[in-house]
Structure 1
Amino acid sequence: MAGTHATPADEAAREAVVDAALAALDLDAKTRLLAGQDLWTLPALPEIGLRSLVMSDGPIGVRGVRWTADDPSVALPSPTALAATWDPELARRAGVLLAQEARRKGVHVLLAPTINLHRSPLGGRHFEAYSEDPYLTGEIGTGYVRGVQSGGVGTTVKHFVANDAETDRFTVDNLVPERALRELYLAPFEAIVENAHPWGIMTAYNTVNGTTMTEHHHLVNEVLRGEWGFDGFNVSDWTAARSTTGALTGGLDVAMPGPVTVYGEALAAAVRAGEATEAQVDEAVRRVLRLAARVGILEGADPVVPEPPAPVDGAALAREIARRSFVLVRNETRGERPALPLEPGATVALVGAAARDARILGGGSATVFPARVVSPLDGLTAALPEGSLTYAVGADPNEELAVADQGFVLRAVCRDADATVLGTGSAPNGQIQWTGSDLPDGVTPEALRTVELTGTFTPRETGTHTFGIKGLGAFTLSVDGTTHFDAVQAADKDDPFGAFFSAPVPRAQPDLTAGTPVEVCLAHVVTLPDDVPFTAVGFSLCHQEPRRDPDELIAEAVEAARAAETAVVVVATTERVESEGFDRVDLRLPGRQDDLVRAVAAANPRTVVVVNSGSPVELPWREETAAVLLTWFPGQEGGAALADVLTGAHEPGGRLPTTWGPLADAPVTRVTPADGELPYGEGVFIGYRAWDRAGTTPTYPFGHGLGYTDWTYESIEVTGTTTATVRLRNTGTRPGREVVQLYLAPTTPDADRPARRLAGFATVEAAPGETAETTVELPRRAFETWDEATNSWTYAKGSYEVAAGRSIADRRVSTTIEA
């Protein structure tokens, strides 16, 4: 079946419509359909009743075809947060919401989920993927895809395959042993294809074992379509397709974006020249028409989902996912009670720049613009009694400029070569990220010559403010009537998305007075190079508030902490640390945040640290604090969810989907290619498998997480090799939820196999004193390994320990079985 509401009869009826539509198309129409007509859409073909297919980036929201804060989207927590819930049903509900958002924005296909693995903690885009473990990734991804497609919106599971780092992502050849490819990197794709039947797959930029993924006949046609039976469409990552005949032979259906692609006219010419066959084109077109039929844009075909699911409250679900994702990794008793939850009525000193200006999502193409953001300061102010909360900046992790937001009122003015105004648009956060369909009314790419971001800025602090520019090309920047920059800003690396993802460059430092508005203007001369396959205008006005002496800020925070009963310090990464387009160079928190935590903890023994990062960071001060709570990138309602958890209205529900430890001990740290190649020499040993093998103790192990109650595991019983039943009791003083984790380990050590692996998990709830019981399936694949000699799966017979517990390092009950 293709989706939640599909039946074989439904599919057969749609296939008949697809066949008739395909037969009515000539070669030029067919090849045109396989090429993007712009950045996000495929062309309509009225002659067969086909409307234009619209795609949009995800995975934490649906941006739509306009990359602007003018068109807001619900912003859910990061994929690492969703995986930290260990709850596929919650992932399904997230998917339903995203389908609702997609339909609201006229989007038919969501470019998500990202199910690449956390091979190394240095991967810069790991916040957008789920886990280091393929089984957990596959389960969460399955829930997500089922949810989105139950709303009648297609998914494109990405990035197929081994797109596990950002360095040289367009050109790197990842050399992955076949066994590791099968057991790790392909495994979540296989699970999602089998269990969720996605309507799309996106092939990656990178090369795998000598063949670029958009031309990988073996992995796409033989494995994905042949072995697994995938019947959806295969779209390239944006600009990834490089060869007309190579892509077609390799199984690529759609080359995005357009209008300049390797398909379209180039593909029609290749067929006429005998370099490709029309039969190959027909198979690709058939898959695109099948997708169109499923989402309801092909006349005569009933969509898979005729009526959307019941409406979902986006803000409420974002808040629930956030608090369910928060991982309490440390909670020490100070005096008579643990540091968390906060004692009712206690005074709280909130510290950290990220507590005021929340970091809710990672950088890059996953960015969306929510209509509202609840910061930790907002959330705690609303939740705590009036007068019980103080705030101090303490330390600011943002060592570079941010987009113009607080205090700015801006609009965009578009002019032609004669300086005549063509049209205007709003620019609510100083960012211009336009593609062809985003241009303001009356503005065409051919006529557009300059864009002016113009308006006012009202400072909230007196002092030297810094203004800068993010983007490439000719700019003129003026503040308060003075021109500070009038020149060309050039690229520092060869990246087609550099204008969107590059670092901002400081260009002006005027002295301004709090509360006194000043005029600001950033003018950009638009050039549209011939070699860029789509029309895009991207740049930003950026800003940074006056920089105060870091020691003074820390001293102020210490005084605030000393005067309160509990100190809550929010530390965070920045867009320069975790974003698309580059990998991390270390796992340290940016700026003086480590110094801040140590100073506050020394002043107040009840110091709680909230870690606002999408993936692991080092916590060198953890033993000096009373509690450490990991909140990932928590989405638009993160501050409200934080208040829920800190006050004890809800317990933190998350468990680690990835091992946290210092970089010096991390088993896999190489993400930079040499001579264009990146060997995956560690084979199947990544994440907890590699930590186990090395015998090194991480800071916090895979699966770890504390709640606000205690659990006693009483028994485990395994039926054959198929199911395990675990019985446990809530021995604490309040209701709670527990994630029961099953780990499978061969009793005879084998150096070629991981010591143990996650084989299943389930969530239970119980009131104080109550017993809970759950039965968890043991998948056959947990007992199998890939045999490179026979090129097949082998069932590894023998004796196994099946253990249940709270993490891979905290296994409470076990039994032995024979497989």
Structure 2
Amino acid sequence: MDSSTKKMLQRAGALAAGAVLMAGLAAMAQSVPVVTGDARVDKLLSQMTLEEKLTLIHGTQEDPKVYQGQAGYLAGIPRLKIPSLRFADGPPGVLTRVPSQGETATMGVAATFSVKDAEDNGLVIGREDRALGIDVSLQPFVNIDRDLEFGRGYNTFGEDPYLTSVMGVAEVKGIQSQHVMAQIKHYVGYDSDNENTYIDDQTLHEVYVAPFDAAVKADVSSIMCSYNKLNDVFACGNKDTMTGILRDELGFKGFVTSDWGAVHSVDFIKAGLDMEMPGEPDPNNHGFSIPSFFDSRPVPPPPAPGAMGDIGDMFGGHIPEEPKPAGFGGGNWGVKLDPKKMPEALKDGTVTEADVTRAAGRVLYEIVHFGYMDGLHKHEVTPQAIEANAKIIEKTGEDAAVLLKNEGNVLPLKSNDLESVVLIGPTAAQVDSIGINGERSVGLPQRQVGPLAAMRKISGNADIQFAVADDMTGTTIPANLLSHDGKPGLARSGGGAEKVDPQLNFTTKAGNALPPNSTVTWKGTLNVPKDGEYWIYLQAMGTNASLKLDGKKFAATGAFQGGVHGDILQANQDNVVPTTDNLDNVRRSIELKAGEHAIEISTSSDTSNAPVQVRLNWYTPEQRQSDHDAAIAAAKNAKTAVVFAWTRLSPVFGLPGDQNKLIEEIAAVNPNTVVVLNTSQPVALPWVDKVKGVLEMWWPGDEGGWATANILLGKTSPAGRLPVTWGKRLEDYAATDPKHPERSKRAPDKKTIYSEGVNVGYRWFDKENIEPLFAFGHGLSYTTFEYSDLKVGKLQDGGLDVTVKIKNTGSVASDEVPQVYIGAPSQIPEGVQFATRALAAFDRVHIGTGQTKTVTMHVPERQLQYWSIKNKKWVTVTAKRTVSVGGSSRNLPLKQEIN
């Protein structure tokens, strides 16, 4: 056989062998049903039993030996080396039983108008998640701040869908860069405290779905569906939005998790829900249970009366400065459209195995694509990158600072000002790091340096004066006012011995903290010297504690086993700030008559194994008045008075307590009064015309004291911008306009109709010609800028490039935030909504003194389109429109018409 014939036969043999191999692979492929289109995922699914697939679509309880107090847990499948998943709350930060860094509040991140800052904050969140053994980060929160009465509006990126989309995507990228899944929330229409929201299809797409659309394009791993009904259908069981929009229109491949308790029927899986959380009930039934449907566990009986014990409010409860809350209605929790659970549904065909396989496949797809089956899964708790994270948190706090008013250039404070300046208010001495604990990290108290100490350190002037005005730590109730059975002191029982303690003051600072896990009760009598409103402070750490007064429950710490998360008490749990020695601080007010009152304080273990610290302080009416008067006197004697004011959530659009009165009185005695605000929503400023300066620092995180000091001292020029419109009255906003009760959270029949349509936030103010106090996008600087040479270029991708020159005409190098707004078209199609103008691009650039920079901002095609309800697609307008550029939505010096 010649060599050529031999080669020909060898080639033929090889081809035949190849054909056999290909046929074998084809047969194998045919045996693996296509579910996700990913060969590895689909092969794993084909190897799984039905029970194993079910494991991937509902939460369960983690082994108590390794449980980290996180929000949720999904069991893995060891047989196939599919790992379990831990889910932890934010935003921002990470909330587990291990304390983690307090970051700048979401609204503050939005105020930076910096994509880099947002991505860096995502990086911090992802790093903290990795260090604390978390796989799925339940953030960012991209609902729209349409209603200041919405109790969770503070957690948003503000009122604008484009800003929210850009910042949300940046955070997703930062989180997921650390091999942590971001779960963007809450889908969709969760922008009101009402149970049922009605949104027309154009508004839904352009405003409320838009941030989720952007996140899907950025490959977000997962989405959390929301509690509310949307157009009468529960969001987590709404096929139109969960499948029609999310899957069919947006092409989302990841998984959808229910908010905790937002499932009301097993057939939600048919609508597009993939995973139920928290899932299987806790067999130990720590006080309450949430109905579950995707598992096979029997429903536990309701908790016995008193099973919740003396737990406090998991979100901190109201404090003396705040009005008493109306109470928690429970919303849609516990609603059962059908009590049937998964085993019955599979048996009667309500749910098929194909439904389960599809849902499990979406979860498994993300587990595989995040490398969790290839060595990137990590549940060990390892050291946190504290210093690296702190640099980002401090910079974000500075970049978020919005200088609202600066009459006569009262800020920054000059070195000679510091010889006669007084800082006033409790959040001047202690940084208002997190505002309210909510579902977020509560910070590391040891890092929380207050603005006062930071200013003294940075300036080198140790004599900067301070007046507390409202002492949130108080003083320990004196021994001469405490007794038991007619004898001095409180009777202590438990902890191995019966004792009498003259006062209740056991702390690490005092050197007498009790041993870890001490369970102790003190009983006795409090002898009140005179009638009045007393503020009682129950302070604790390393334990939970409760207080009874005259036989009734009066106060309790807000952490508890099986509670929101964490299972251990942390210092920022229950008050605006911890005590000055870093204890949790439960503060309550009560009118007391002179004379004896029965008192009882008890502790219970919190799993931290830390020394038990307990203290009972108070703030008497006489001391409150004295501190108030001292603050006024200090302001009168100073050249400049800097008043620090704060809010949490209540009252809506107002400062709690007598802060407005305090500012008015200080402004009356000091013409150079500056107010520093720590809020996360606009509030009424009745004194704004009487003060020289107003600086919004938001809730700046653990490093916020340094950030505040750097802004006040001029080490950094403020350049933050308002991500919300700051109205003059609450009634000026669309959702709280009394002429439109259907828009409010108190709408008739529990149906909130978003009848303002696309005109949310500043768009409403523009449409109605309402003058805001401070416009969306507003923010001053320690310098001035001049805009010129606007050029608009059309691009092949359908978008625009908007170029402008910006010159720093002042004497301070600073960032500037140019903003591009697109006006409504000259001809509007019938039945289509357009805002007067809408944000379409922005940037943040640093410009030196006298320097001119050319800045190009890209307007995506989507910002030039509208959603056609008639055609069910995005349509680009061909009529004339105006491109406007400037420093805020109401300061737009440059304009150009485009076709």
Secondary structure in 1 matching 2:786 = strand
- Residues 656 and 541 (structure 1), Cα distance of their counterparts in 2 relative to 1, 3 Å cut: farther
Secondary structure in 2 matching 1:810 = coil
AA of the residue aligned to 1:790: N
Distance 1:148 1:627 in 2: 36
- CA drift of 1:647 comes to 0.4
- Residues 278 and 771 (structure 1), Cα distance of their counterparts in 2 relative to 1, 3 Å cut: same
CA contact (8 A) 2:786 2:808 kept: yes
State yes or no: 1:83 paired with 2:83. Answer: no
Distance 1:613 1:771 in 2: 34
**Which structure has the bigger radius of gyration?**
2
Distance 1:648 1:162 in 2: 41
- CA drift of 1:386 comes to 3.2
Encode CA deviations 1:69-94: one digit per residue, 9 max, x unaligned.
xx220111100000000011111111
Give the match for residue 535 of structure 1: none
- CA drift of 1:651 comes to 1.1
Number of residue pairs aligned between Structure 1 and Structure 2: 707
Give the match for residue 200 of structure 2: 177
Matches of residues 793-804 of structure 1 in structure 2 within 5 Å? 793-804=874-885
Give the match for residue 21 of structure 1: 44
Encode CA deviations 1:438-472: one digit per residue, 9 max, x unaligned.
xx99x9xxxxxx976889xxxxxx996614699xx
CA contact (8 A) 1:31 1:281 kept: yes
Give the match for residue 562 of structure 1: 636
CA contact (8 A) 2:128 2:385 kept: no
State yes or no: 1:614 paired with 2:664. Answer: no
- Residues 454 and 139 (structure 1), Cα distance of their counterparts in 2 relative to 1, 3 Å cut: farther
Give the match for residue 354 of structure 2: 279
Give the match for residue 297 of structure 1: 372
RMSD: 3.9
Distance 1:294 1:249 in 2: 25
Encode CA deviations 1:370-415: one digit per residue, 9 max, x unaligned.
243222233223233434311112357999x9xxxxxxxxxxx999
CA contact (8 A) 2:473 2:537 kept: no
Distance 2:456 2:593 in 1: 33
- CA drift of 1:604 comes to 1.7
CA contact (8 A) 1:735 1:766 kept: yes
Distance 2:375 2:129 in 1: 23
Give the match for residue 353 of structure 1: 426
State yes or no: 1:737 paired with 2:764. Answer: no
- CA drift of 1:770 comes to 0.9
Give the match for residue 313 of structure 2: none
Give the match for residue 163 of structure 1: 190
Encode CA deviations 1:300-352: one digit per residue, 9 max, x unaligned.
8999xxxx99997111111100010010010111xxxx101101132210011
CA contact (8 A) 2:494 2:521 kept: no
Question: Please, which of 301, 306, 317 is the counterpart of residue 392 of structure 2?
Answer: 317
State yes or no: 1:41 paired with 2:121. Answer: no
Secondary structure in 1 matching 2:817 = strand
Unaligned ranges ≥5, structure 2 = 1-34, 62-70, 282-291, 297-340, 477-492, 496-505, 510-514, 524-529, 557-561, 566-572, 576-585, 607-613, 737-743
Question: Please, which of 234, 247, 254 is the counterpart of residue 232 of structure 1?
Answer: 254
CA contact (8 A) 2:717 2:813 kept: no
Matches of residues 169-208 of structure 1 in structure 2 within 5 Å? 172-194=195-217, 196-208=218-230
- Residues 300 and 606 (structure 1), Cα distance of their counterparts in 2 relative to 1, 3 Å cut: closer
Question: Please, which of 192, 198, 212 is the counterpart of residue 234 of structure 2?
Answer: 212
Secondary structure in 2 matching 1:715 = strand
Give the match for residue 447 of structure 1: none
Give the match for residue 493 of structure 1: none
Distance 1:545 1:138 in 2: 45
Give the match for residue 752 of structure 2: 678
- CA drift of 1:655 comes to 0.4
State yes or no: 1:654 paired with 2:720. Answer: yes
Secondary structure in 2 matching 1:382 = helix
Encode CA deviations 1:427-448: one digit per residue, 9 max, x unaligned.
999xxxxxxxxxx99x9xxxxx
Encode CA deviations 1:693-718: one digit per residue, 9 max, x unaligned.
11110000000001111101021100
- Residues 363 and 683 (structure 1), Cα distance of their counterparts in 2 relative to 1, 3 Å cut: same
Encode CA deviations 1:739-769: one digit per residue, 9 max, x unaligned.
0101111363869421111110112222111
Give the match for residue 654 of structure 2: 588
Give the match for residue 327 of structure 2: none
Give the match for residue 57 of structure 1: 89
| Most deviating of 722-731 and 291-300 | 291-300
Matches of residues 509-524 of structure 1 in structure 2 within 5 Å? 521-523=601-603
State yes or no: 1:725 paired with 2:803. Answer: yes
- Residues 428 and 777 (structure 1), Cα distance of their counterparts in 2 relative to 1, 3 Å cut: farther
AA of the residue aligned to 2:294: Y
- CA drift of 1:272 comes to 2.5
Give the match for residue 169 of structure 2: 142
Give the match for residue 435 of structure 1: none
Give the match for residue 643 of structure 1: 709
Give the match for residue 248 of structure 1: 269
Q: RCO higher in 1 or 2 (8 Å CA, sep ≥ 6)? A: 1
Give the match for residue 259 of structure 1: 280
| Most deviating of 605-614 and 266-275 | 266-275
CA contact (8 A) 2:199 2:231 kept: yes
Encode CA deviations 1:344-365: one digit per residue, 9 max, x unaligned.
1322100112223433223322
- Residues 57 and 744 (structure 1), Cα distance of their counterparts in 2 relative to 1, 3 Å cut: same
- Residues 643 and 219 (structure 1), Cα distance of their counterparts in 2 relative to 1, 3 Å cut: same
- CA drift of 1:58 comes to 1.2
- CA drift of 1:149 comes to 0.4
- Residues 244 and 674 (structure 1), Cα distance of their counterparts in 2 relative to 1, 3 Å cut: same
- Residues 509 and 360 (structure 1), Cα distance of their counterparts in 2 relative to 1, 3 Å cut: farther
Question: Please, which of 407, 410, 414 is the counterpart of residue 343 of structure 1?
Answer: 414
AA of the residue aligned to 1:644: N
- CA drift of 1:18 comes to 2.1
AA of the residue aligned to 1:90: D
State yes or no: 1:110 paired with 2:137. Answer: yes
Distance 1:775 1:816 in 2: 17
Distance 1:13 1:681 in 2: 39
Give the match for residue 733 of structure 2: 666
AA of the residue aligned to 2:82: L
Secondary structure in 1 matching 2:351 = coil
AA of the residue aligned to 2:630: E
Q: TM-score, normalised by structure 2?
A: 0.72
- CA drift of 1:262 comes to 1.1
State yes or no: 1:573 paired with 2:647. Answer: yes
CA contact (8 A) 2:53 2:357 kept: yes
Using the aligned pairs only, state the percent identity: 31
CA contact (8 A) 1:427 1:453 kept: no
- CA drift of 1:299 comes to 5.6
- Residues 300 and 747 (structure 1), Cα distance of their counterparts in 2 relative to 1, 3 Å cut: closer
- Residues 386 and 697 (structure 1), Cα distance of their counterparts in 2 relative to 1, 3 Å cut: same
Q: TM-score, normalised by structure 1?
A: 0.79
CA contact (8 A) 1:14 1:293 kept: no
AA of the residue aligned to 2:819: Q
AA of the residue aligned to 2:443: F
Distance 2:508 2:89 in 1: 20
- CA drift of 1:294 comes to 3.1
Distance 1:276 1:190 in 2: 28
- CA drift of 1:544 comes to 5.1
Secondary structure in 2 matching 1:89 = helix
AA of the residue aligned to 1:477: L
Encode CA deviations 1:761-808: one digit per residue, 9 max, x unaligned.
112222111110111111112221222222222212111111110001
Encode CA deviations 1:556-611: one digit per residue, 9 max, x unaligned.
2222112222111001113x52xxxxxx6x31111111111111112222211001
Question: Please, which of 473, 477, 484 is the counterpart of residue 547 of structure 2?
Answer: 477
Secondary structure in 2 matching 1:354 = helix
- Residues 140 and 451 (structure 1), Cα distance of their counterparts in 2 relative to 1, 3 Å cut: farther
- Residues 525 and 389 (structure 1), Cα distance of their counterparts in 2 relative to 1, 3 Å cut: closer
